[in-house]
Each structure stands twice: as structure tokens, then as C-alpha cells.
């Protein structure tokens, strides 16, 4: 969340940021509540001091005066109790509204309402020009019995699938290559829970507002399945104070991810593009509260993911995400979209985000700097590889005319040295 002091001092900038993101929040009500909160704090403190003094006065008063003084003190206590109740109401409303205020986007974030207005920064690689009629990943998967959506739906409902044989091996190969690549870049590997408390979803900015996209357990557990390892990794040191000398911390984690994909019925529902469960390797950075360092990390984690795509010989483009397509927590986000022949377009495969201290404030995640001052850390994250969309790109871009699929050199060692998978399709 944003610092309340920042909101009070910069209400117009906060309102402009919310408008740019197309997010509704009531800044004016927050300002009103803050004024009332501060007034109540003073009144409650004064009433408590008066009650304490009155208690001493009663104890020292003559017996004949004590009854009247006690009655008056009872009235004061009732007034204090009412003020305390109102103080609690004000604080709860203020806390609820603060969770709805979006981060202020960077000046470099373009105007726009949807992903169609994201601004292309660069393209890398040229989409392949086939001298035969290319098959979609669904057609290849069905022909080779690599992807079974019928039995996947029987097991778990629509938008579920089973990967078989070489496709399961290819998924593991991509994930392991992505994971190993990040470890080689100095990222600390983690294995993290995929079930987290609701407070962790709030802390990382997914709640409130994203509940319809999450799978929640019942009230007995108050647990949610994560849609990305970003959630448990970013929250790893929640409510702790880190040593600034230990920063930056760079982590990589692979996890199963779960998403409802609510509101996308009839859109991208065929095949593996928009599914409820997949594997993902995620990179997360925690560092000191320095804007220039955050920007440098943002470029670096974006470059890490681009290196993966280049090693896998996949054409892609990088876009600067516009305000209306930017989530509540982000300062700025770059998406990588990889070429997918069956779509005849680029499809989103990676999102690189920086948050400054927005997530850290919600998580109470802090560090002590060299001067001994306690500050909130800056957080960043980016996809390294998401299994299903990477499989789409690999199958469709590297297919051969006979229906076999060439394996990029970077993955061959993960598949026993094989240079292709599949048999010719008759």
C-alpha cells in the first residue's frame, strides 16, 4: 500500500495515478478519515489522562464527595468508551480504503485502457515463414497423443489437461532449463508452499480485488492456492527486519500455479493458452529503497527472461504496459509476448514488474540501513518460464513438415541428447 503520509501530502498525484490505471478509489474519504483519526487520537489520549487523574482525585477526596465524583467519572468513562469505539471504526474503514489505493505509476507508463494499447518497445527474432501448412499445438498434441484435454476435463473440469510422454518430458526440460539458468545467474533456489494464508495474498497485492481469480479453501483453513510463486517468495520475510548489508536478495522458485481465469469464457479456451493449472519458474528480487537500483533490477530481470527465449530460439517482443492494463501494485510492468503461429500473433508469456515499497508496506517487510534507520524494502518479480505457453511456442515454432518437433540445442541435454520428438504424422 501507499504510505498514508504520502497520500495526505500528494492527493492529486494519487488521484491521477488511480485515474491512469482506471482504478476507483476514494482518496477524499481517506483524507477525511485521517483528519478524524488524528482528532480522536488526541481526544482519547486526553480522556484517558483525565480518567487516570480523576481516579487519584476520588481516592484522595473526602468520603462525602466520592459518590458525586464517581458518578461524574462514570459519565467520562462512557464518553471515552464511545470515542474508543468510534476510533476503532475510523481506523478499520481507513485501513480498508488504503488497501484499495493503487500504486502511482511511473511517468514512463503509457496512457491506455486495455492490453491493445500497450506500447511495443522492441522485437527480437523474426516469425518463421513456413513452406508448409503449420499445425497448432493442439493438433500436434492430439496427433502424437501428447495432450489429453478430454481426460483432463474428466478429472478436473474444463480447461484442464494431461501431458503424456514426450510432452511431459519437454515440460520438465523447459522448467529445469529455466531454473538452472537463474541459479547460474546467482539467484538462490527455493521450494515454497503453494497454499498460503489470505493475509499473504493481501500482503502481495492480490487481495482485495483478485478473489475471483483465486482458488480458496474453506473457512476452516483460510488458505488459498497461489497463482504464482511470487506470493510466497515475496512474503518469505513478512514482519521481519532484514540487515541492509544482506540486500539485494535474489530468489528463483518453481511452483504449480492455479488460476480460475474468471471472465474469460469463450476466449482462448482451446488448447493450453488459458488453463487453470500450470508450472512456472519465477524470479523475485528484494533490495533497498532506492529508485535507481529498482530500475536497474527491472531491466536485469527482464533481460534474464529474454535470454531464456533467445536460447530457445523463439521470436518475441517486449511491450511497455499501459496504465489501464497495469495492476494495482505495480509502478511499471513490461510484458514479453512470444510469437505463436496458430494465433498469428504474439501471446503474453512473461510479466516483469517493479513495486517500490508497495508490497513491503502491506507485508511489513523492512530492513535496517547503514545509519540504523528502518525502511521498507523494494520488491520486483518476473516470470522466467510458464510451462503451458512455452510449450505452445516451442511446438508451433519448431515443428517440421512431417509433424515432428525440433528441440533447441539448449534443451537437448535435458532430453537425453535428442534433437527432435515425435514420429512423422501420416
CB 379, CB 282: distance < 8 Å? no
220 is catalytic: no
In angstroms, the CA 324 to CA 58 distance is 63
Distances in whole angstroms, Cα of residue 310 to Cα of each of 13, 252, 299, 307, 374: 39, 19, 16, 5, 41
Q: Exactly one of 282, 361, 389, 396 is catalytic; name it.
A: 389
Question: Given the C-alpha cell 464517581, which residue does it identify?
Answer: 70
Q: Exactly one of 351, 361, 387, 396 is catalytic; name it.
A: 351
CB 338, CB 388: distance < 8 Å? no
Q: Exactly one of 274, 293, 368, 418 is catalytic; name it.
A: 274
Q: Exactly one of 259, 354, 362, 366 is catalytic; name it.
A: 259
168 is catalytic: no
End-to-end CA distance of the chain: 58
259 is catalytic: yes
Cα–Cα nearest to 231, from 261, 209, 251: 251
- What phi and psi, each to the nearest 5 degrees, are found at residue 121? -100, -40
Q: Exactly one of 93, 142, 211, 348 is catalytic; name it.
A: 348
Cα–Cα nearest to 162, from 261, 278, 258, 266: 278
Q: Among all residues, which ones are annotated catalytic?
A: 259, 274, 348, 351, 389
Amino acid at each position: 500500500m501507499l504510505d498514508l503520509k504520502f497520500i495526505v501530502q500528494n492527493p492529486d498525484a494519487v488521484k491521477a495515478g488511480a485515474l491512469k490505471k482506471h482504478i476507483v478509489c476514494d482518496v477524499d474519504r481517506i483524507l477525511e478519515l485521517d483528519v478524524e483519526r488524528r482528532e480522536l487520537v488526541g481526544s482519547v489520549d486526553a480522556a484517558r489522562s483525565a480518567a487516570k487523574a480523576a481516579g487519584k482525585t476520588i481516592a484522595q477526596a473526602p468520603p462525602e464527595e466520592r459518590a458525586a465524583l464517581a458518578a461524574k467519572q462514570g459519565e467520562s468513562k462512557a464518553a471515552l468508551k464511545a470515542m474508543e469505539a468510534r476510533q476503532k471504526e475510523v481506523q478499520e474503514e481507513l485501513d480498508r480504503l488504503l488497501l484499495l489505493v493503487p500504486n502511482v505509476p511511473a511517468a514512463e507508463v503509457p496512457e491506455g485502457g486495455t492490453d491493445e494499447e500497450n506500447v511495443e518497445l522492441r522485437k527480437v527474432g523474426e516469425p518463421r515463414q513456413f513452406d508448409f501448412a503449420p499445425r497448432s499445438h493442439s493438433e500436434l498434441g492430439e496427433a502424437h497423443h501428447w495432450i489429453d484435454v478430454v481426460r483432463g476435463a474428466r478429472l478436473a473440469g474444463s480447461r484442464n489437461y494431461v501431458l503424456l510422454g514426450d510432452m511431459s518430458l519437454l515440460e520438465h526440460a523447459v522448467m529445469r532449463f529455466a531454473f538452472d539458468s537463474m541459479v547460474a545467474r546467482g539467484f538462490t533456489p527455493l521450494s515454497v508452499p503453494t497454499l498460503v494464508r489470505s493475509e499473504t495474498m493481501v500482503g502481495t497485492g492480490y487481495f482485495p480485488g483478485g478473489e475471483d481469480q483465486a482458488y480458496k479453501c474453506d473457512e476452516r483453513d483460510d488458505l488459498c492456492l497461489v497463482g504464482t510463486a511470487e506470493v510466497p517468495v515475496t512474503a518469505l520475510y513478512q514482519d521481519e527486519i532484514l540487515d541492509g548489508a544482506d540486500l539485494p536478495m535474489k530468489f528463483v522458485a518453481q511452483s504449480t500455479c492455479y488460476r480460475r481465469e474468471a471472465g474469460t469464457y469463450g476466449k482462448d479456451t482451446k488448447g493450453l493458452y488459458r488453463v487453470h493449472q500450470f508450472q512456472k519458474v519465477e524470479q523475485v528480487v528484494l533490495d533497498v529503497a532506492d529508485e535507481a537500483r529498482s530500475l536497474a533490477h527491472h531491466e536485469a530481470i527482464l533481460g534474464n527472461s529474454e535470454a531464456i527465449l533467445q536460447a530457445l530460439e523463439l521470436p518475441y517482443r517486449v511491450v511497455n504496459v499501459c496504465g489501464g492494463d497495469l495492476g494495482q501494485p505495480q509502478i511499471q510492468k513490461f510484458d514479453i509476448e512470444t510469437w505463436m503461429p496458430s494465433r498469428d500473433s504474439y501471446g503474453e508469456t512473461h510479466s516483469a514488474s517493479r513495486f517500490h515499497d508497495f508490497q513491503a508496506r502491506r507485508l511489513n517487510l523492512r530492513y535496517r540501513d547503514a545509519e540504523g534507520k528502518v525502511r521498507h524494502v523494494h520488491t520486483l518479480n518476473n516470470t522466467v518460464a510458464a510451462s503451458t505457453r512455452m510449450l505452445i511456442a516451442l511446438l508451433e515454432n519448431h515443428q517440421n513438415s512431417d509433424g515432428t518437433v525440433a528441440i533447441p540445442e539448449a534443451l537437448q541435454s535435458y532430453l537425453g541428447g535428442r534433437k527432435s520428438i515425435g514420429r512423422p504424422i501420416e
